[in-house]
Amino acid sequence: MKEGNFAEELTPEQKVSIFLEALPYVQKFREGIFVIKYGGAAMEDPLLVEKTLRDIVLLEAVGINPLIIHGGGEFINRAMKKKGLSPRFVNGIRVTDKELISLIEEVLSKEVGPRIAQKINEYGAKAVFIPGQEIFWAERWKAVSEEGIPMDYGYVGTIVGADLQPLLKLLHGQFIAVVSPLARAANGDIYNVNADVAASKMAKFIKAKKLIYLTNTNGILADEKDPLSRISVINRQQISLLKEKGIIHGGMIPKVDSALEALEAGVEKVHFLDGRMPHALLLEIFTDKGIGTEIVL
C-alpha cells in the first residue's frame, strides 16, 4: 500500500479511531516541553527529513512545545573529508582540535541548524535557530581512562549550565527552537559537545516532560545483529549488563548514560526511537503501544 493512499484505504470508523486514540495523549502533553535529539538518517534522507519535521510541526500544532537539539556528525565528516581531515572518536566522542572546532561551528551554525529551522517554517510552523554557544555554558572536558590516565579530547566541553530565557521566550511565543550542540566557556572558547548529552542537559534544565532520541537503530536491541530484538523497556541494571556484554558500546554509551542522567534529574520519560521509520515520533507519542525503547531507572 502506498503511503499517499493510506488514508483513502481506511474506513470512516478507522479514521475516527485514530484520532480518538491520540486524544488522551494530546490532552496529557499539552503545553509540555519535549526535547528531541534530532540526528542520524532522520536528518539526512530527504524523505525522512520532511516526514520527521512535519511530525514536529504537528506536535506544536496540538499544543506541545518541541525543542530540537540537532546533531550533524555526517555533515561534519563530509566537510572534514573535503579538507583532507580524518575523524577520530574515543568512546563515541569526537576528538576536536582548534582547526576542527572552527569547521564544526561553521557546519552546524551556517548549514545544518538554519536549514532545519527553514524547513520547519516551510511546513507551516515558526522556528528559530539558536547556536548552542549562545545557550550552553561549558568547561573543558577532563576525562580519565579506566587506567586513571588523563585523556585530552581537545575542544570538547562538558555542559555546566544554560541561559534558558531566550528559549522560554520562544516557546511561549509558539516558536520551535532549534539548537546546535556547541557551548561556550568562560574564556570565550567554543566547545564541541556531544549532542545526546546536550539534549539530556537541556531536558534537565528546562524540566521537559519527554526526552526523545531519534537514532539509526530500532530502539535498544538485545542482539545488535537482530533488528527484531528490540527491548520495549530497559532499566539501569539491564543497561549495565548490556554494556558489560559489549552490546551497548561506542556512540550508544553516551546516549544511554545521558538518558539515565535526565531521568535522575526529573525528566518524566525518555525514549529511543528508530528515526528511519516514517512518523516514528507520532507513533510513539500518540498510540497506546508505541514503537521504541523506554528508559527507566
Tell me the CA distances in angstroms from 58 to 54, 110, 229, 289, one per residue in order.
Answer: 6, 26, 30, 20
d(CA 169, CA 116): 20
d(CA 152, CA 150): 7
Closest CA to 176 of 14, 38, 75: 38
Q: What is the DSSP letter of 175?
A: P
DSSP, collapsed to helix, strand or coil, labels residue 256 as helix
Report whether 73 belongs to an annotated binding site. Answer: yes
Report whether 94 belongs to an annotated binding site. Answer: yes
Report whether 192 belongs to an annotated binding site. Answer: yes
Terminal C-alpha separation, the chain:
40
Neighbours of 19 (CB within 10 A): 10
Sequence-distant (6+) residues with CB within 8 A of 193 are 132, 136, 138, 156, 157, 158, 159, 181, 182, 183
Beta bridge partners of 294: 233, 271
Report whether 236 belongs to an annotated binding site. Answer: no
Q: Strand 190-192 relative to strand 182-184: parallel, antiparallel, unpaired?
A: antiparallel
Beta bridge partners of 254: none
**Binding site members:** 72-73, 94, 192
**Binding site members for substrate:** 72-73, 94, 192
